[in-house]
Structure 1
Amino acid sequence: MEYFKEKEIILWDFDGVILDSMEIRSLGFRKVLSQYPAEQVEELLTFHKQNGGLSRYVKFRYFLEEIRGEENAKEEVQQMSEAYSSIMRKKLKSKDLLIDEVLEFISKNHKKFDMHIVSGSDGDELRYLCSNLEISDYFLSINGSPTPKIELVSLLLSNYSYVNEKVCLIGDSINDYDAAMANNIEFFGYNNSDLKKKETRYIENF
């Protein structure tokens, strides 16, 4: 594919790029926060949709501290995140949710490129899902939160001694774009036309 002719390493976001999961992710927030006022939950869902690449830990903390004005919410954030992960492990392990054209590209090219997942999703949950979806073997590593994505990318570049010019990140959110820019690697937008507004390359299809 001409997009990647000068690349050797592809870093993949997960939700919205490999797995069509955004509606189920939103449902998970609704379930975990069902005891709270509806308008507060809707405010959190707006934040969630605008910041797809951020972890649930950040989002639940935002909900409690910024929307509800609560302090010292660390324990509650952990409890909410665990409840959320339990729902996601059940709801997201269907192969029907895999984005076909992306999976086809990955399966055909995983030996040509070094491929890694860098996601805002919980790392343990992500590895569980990839195993159930039978895609783990396509990737040299599968990385997620609570480590922020900017740091995940930085660690990969360092640990594998990658040359930045040979690396790209494919994502569907502004947070993916920010992670690529912060680490001086090329970004390719996908599955979010708002990213066309950025001075970056955009993949219409694979």
Structure 2
Amino acid sequence: MKIKNILWDFDGVILDSMKVRDWGFREIFEHFDKEKVDKLIDYHRVNGGLSRYVKIRYFYESILNKNISDEEVLVHATAFSDLMRSELTDKKNLIKETVDFIEANHSNYNFHIVSGSDQEELRFICKELGLAVYFNSIHGSPTPKNKLVSDLMFENKYDSNETILIGDSINDYEAAVANSLTFYGFNNTSLKSVSDSYINSFERLVIQ
């Protein structure tokens, strides 16, 4: 069956943002113990597909062993978002081979973004970078990725056999599995063992 729909993760697939986001977490938690913040950064890197809301709560509850309210999570997440809006709208952070593929193929598929990044921030960044025009829709946190994908599939009446998800983290893989989608891993060789297909280069990519 021909693939008609491609769901894209954003960070690490379209935008090389990991170092900027590392910096962002260090900035908003600059007054906390460095070793504990290092543990957060490790968690953030392994779980790239999770939202900042989850990561901030994990930092407090699992690393600091402290309670944190939803309001406090939002305060930290907003501070983080302000930093990202100013830093991630620089086109130097775009992953060129991915963007070239998107520009060349957006009329051949239904493209959507499903990301762990904050939805409003994500839409702002995509607009500033000139990417929004290539996607039918752009979705992000705080809704978990599994549900983003599920809702998108339902609302668009997409056939799972005609849809793939491209991502760079285990969370992307889990979202694909939860929704019975073919998973294409990219930019993370540890995903080769679980990917239905692994993208070594978008320049030579053939989607089957």
**Alignment match, 1:143:** 139
CA RMSD of the aligned region, Å?
Answer: 0.9
Percent of aligned pairs with the same amino acid: 50
What amino acid is aligned across from residue 62 of structure 1 in structure 2? Y
**Alignment match, 1:43:** 39
| Closer, same or farther: CA 21–199 of 1 in aligned 2, 3 Å | closer
1:195 aligns with 2:199: no
Distance 2:74 2:56 in 1: 9
What is the DSSP-based 3-state SS (H/G/I as helix, E as strand, rest coil) of the residue aligned with 1:197? coil
1:28 aligns with 2:24: yes
Distance 1:160 1:20 in 2: 29
1:12–1:169 contact (8 Å) kept in structure 2: yes
**Alignment match, 1:96:** 92
1:61 aligns with 2:47: no
The alignment's TM-score, normalised by the length of structure 1, stands at 0.96
What amino acid is aligned across from residue 28 of structure 1 in structure 2? G
- Please, which runs of 5 or more residues in structure 2 have no aligned partner? 203-208
- Cα deviation digits, residues 71-117 of structure 1 (max 9, x gap): 24322211100000000000000111111111011001101000000
- Please, which runs of 5 or more residues in structure 1 have no aligned partner? none
Displacement of 1:52: 0.3
Distance 2:157 2:105 in 1: 21
Distance 2:195 2:69 in 1: 38
Distance 2:64 2:196 in 1: 36
Distance 1:58 1:150 in 2: 14
2:184–2:195 contact (8 Å) kept in structure 1: no
What is the DSSP-based 3-state SS (H/G/I as helix, E as strand, rest coil) of the residue aligned with 1:112? coil
1:108 to 100, 104, 107: 104
**Count of paired positions:** 202
**Alignment match, 2:2:** 6
Displacement of 1:199: 4.9
2:57–2:68 contact (8 Å) kept in structure 1: no
- Listed as ranges, the matches of 1:116-131 within 5 Å are 116-131=112-127
The alignment's TM-score, normalised by the length of structure 2, stands at 0.95
Distance 2:96 2:8 in 1: 15
Distance 1:204 1:160 in 2: 30
1:167 aligns with 2:163: yes
What is the DSSP-based 3-state SS (H/G/I as helix, E as strand, rest coil) of the residue aligned with 2:20? helix
